[in-house]
Structure 1
Amino acid sequence: MDTPLPANLAVSFEFFPPKTEKMEQTLWQAVHKLAPLQPEFVSVTYGAGGTTRERTHATVCRLQKETGIQAAAHLTCVGATREEIDTIAKTYWDSGIRHIVALRGDPPTGVGTAYEPHPGGYAYAADLVAGLKRAADFEISVAAYPESHPQATSPADDLDNLKRKIDAGATRAITQFFFDVTAYLRFVERAAAAGITVPIVPGILPITNFTRAIEFAGSCGAAIPPWMADLFAGLDNDPETRQLVAATVAVEQCRQLHAEGIQNFHFYTLNRAELTVGICHMLGVRPRELATAPAPATAS
């Protein structure tokens, strides 16, 4: 393996709000292991239909207060009127949260259900972005899909939708996870040709469970390369080897992206720190005391 990448890489991490006391312990263990890596920001997801609204708010505010790292709250169009969403946004602003990840969102019944705008609500993510910018001067990130959103009528239509979100005031796009680096690079080229100039940050999913990753990929339109299935074959009952393979795959993906000039990476942590910490370490993103520690003396 080559030497570590430059330590000026910027990383960010995504968490989801815990449902149980045990899950809460797991989350904060992950937070305390990842915080020393000094991420640019951390984000907290929002359940379908706004089902985790209160837990998302509590987690975001605690993250920012206890770690000092900028915390971003996910907010969707689903399950609320414009007035209700504006009130939520104002509550975030008053709590010191300045960054929102604005998404259309999935219906409460699941991603396979047809989406219908809430009566009196923001219809789509571009509308939500515009509403948030009217509410306060938020930094706003939005979603991008290198292999197109599963419900998009065409790649061109999907790209037009991203352009509408940027034109409405978003300052960053974060991609759905992907494993095909070429697909991401082509998407970035197409976005630039369409006049999109904001950063399009690649979303990286460290694979803790390959079967689950296949399910995730099926729901969001991400392709699983055949070579990846071969790498994870036979490792269902061998978590140690699976983690080693997963870290190697993610590091190689990041190295390929960095070779193309990418400096920012967004990790979907699934509230687990081990893989992400290991991947970041191999990329040269380490706690400051490790990154600047002097080399051990050699015997004369």
Structure 2
Amino acid sequence: MSHNGSFSFEFFPPRSEEAAARFAQTRRALLPLQPDYVSVTFGAGGSTRDLTLDTVTTLAREGDVPVAPHISCIGATATSLRELLDAYRSLGIRRLVALRGDLPSGMGDAPGEFRYASDLVAFIRRETGDWFHLEVAAYPEVHPQARSARADLDAFVRKVRAGADGAITQYFFNADAYFRFRDAAAAAGVAVPIIPGVMPITNYTQLARFSATCGAEIPRWLARRLEDFGDDLDGLRAFGLDVTLALSRRLLDGGAPGLHFYTLNRAEPTATLWQALDLDRRAEGAG
């Protein structure tokens, strides 16, 4: 089974020495798989800005795989963004994931100089031209704060028209939601690739918490099956692998232009999926 397209991993900046040691182990396990790039997340309101920059710097200097920092505009100023863009250019970074970002608690409705991700994309293009390949976010199940599905699609189209080169979706477990969103975006004139985000299933409590926060739906049948495993984590992970593997195969067979794996800084679930999808052969074929 041959796969072309973009295959990438998402990491988050470790916040402690112990987490940094685990992250180093994860990198050693995953980067030899030769993803097209790895992205590094950015906390609400820029709460991990320095940690993100430190993590990106480490990855860029190791030089194993291209790095794509997340960059958020909520609470940012043109000056702070300009400084960050300059820092990334000086590291040789050529790809960014441009996001509106989440409001940190207590900020209320004071987003700073930029209100929408489309404003951020336009700013980066004005400041840096075509230096960066820009990815933006897409929400097949509709952004949790969107007024309507139509308003959410319109916001996505604006981001692409502002200069985005591609998009990465929020994770989901309903492939039809992705295909319908992709087709609706194409009908609205979007021609950039929309890469599905894939979340390995390893911990039901954690997954339920994440999903409630970001608006990703866990289908009732899946939630009830995961509940059945209780403390049987090995059984849950084996079942979760079957679910995400079937989803990934359906997405690729349906024409998805790649996959973006939300690793949660853990190597084994993503590596197991990668190998089951025969993506190792893709790396060998490129060599």
TM-score by length of 2: 0.94
- The answer as to whether partners of 2:74 and 2:101 remain within 8 angstroms in 1 is yes
Larger radius of gyration: 1
Aligned to 2:9: 13
Which of 228, 231, 246 does residue 234 from structure 1 map onto?
A: 228
Aligned to 1:169: 163
Structure with greater helix percent = 2
5+ residue gaps, structure 1, are 293-300
- The answer as to whether partners of 1:152 and 1:158 remain within 8 angstroms in 2 is yes
Aligned: 1:129 with 2:118: no
One-letter amino acid of the counterpart of residue 37, structure 2: F
Counterpart CA distance in 2 for 1:262 and 1:91 is 33
RMSD: 1.7
Which of 258, 277, 280 does residue 283 from structure 1 map onto?
A: 277
Query: What pairs with 1:28-47 in structure 2 (closer than 5 Å)?
Result: 28-47=24-43
Once the 2 structures are TM-superposed, how far is the Cα of residue 263 of structure 1 from its aligned partner?
3.6
One-letter amino acid of the counterpart of residue 64, structure 2: G
- Percent identity reads 45
Counterpart CA distance in 2 for 1:9 and 1:279 is 16
Once the 2 structures are TM-superposed, how far is the Cα of residue 206 of structure 1 from its aligned partner?
0.4
TM-score by length of 1: 0.90
Which of 156, 160, 172 does residue 154 from structure 2 map onto?
A: 160
One-letter amino acid of the counterpart of residue 129, structure 1: V
- The answer as to whether partners of 1:61 and 1:71 remain within 8 angstroms in 2 is no
Any idea what SS the aligned residue of 2:179 has?
helix
- The answer as to whether partners of 1:43 and 1:72 remain within 8 angstroms in 2 is yes
Once the 2 structures are TM-superposed, how far is the Cα of residue 114 of structure 1 from its aligned partner?
5.3
Query: What pairs with 1:1-300 in structure 2 (closer than 5 Å)?
Result: 5-8=1-4, 10-109=6-105, 115-118=109-112, 121-136=113-128, 137-286=131-280
Change (3 A) 1:8 1:167: closer
Once the 2 structures are TM-superposed, how far is the Cα of residue 9 of structure 1 from its aligned partner?
5.4
Counterpart CA distance in 1 for 2:3 and 2:27 is 20
Counterpart CA distance in 2 for 1:100 and 1:228 is 33
Identify the range of structure 1 (256-265 vs 38-47) with the bigger mean alpha-carbon deviation. Answer: 256-265
Counterpart CA distance in 1 for 2:54 and 2:228 is 40
One-letter amino acid of the counterpart of residue 165, structure 1: K
Aligned residue pairs, count? 283
5+ residue gaps, structure 2, are none
Counterpart CA distance in 1 for 2:63 and 2:201 is 26
Change (3 A) 1:9 1:197: closer
Once the 2 structures are TM-superposed, how far is the Cα of residue 226 of structure 1 from its aligned partner?
1.6
Change (3 A) 1:141 1:10: closer
Once the 2 structures are TM-superposed, how far is the Cα of residue 249 of structure 1 from its aligned partner?
0.9
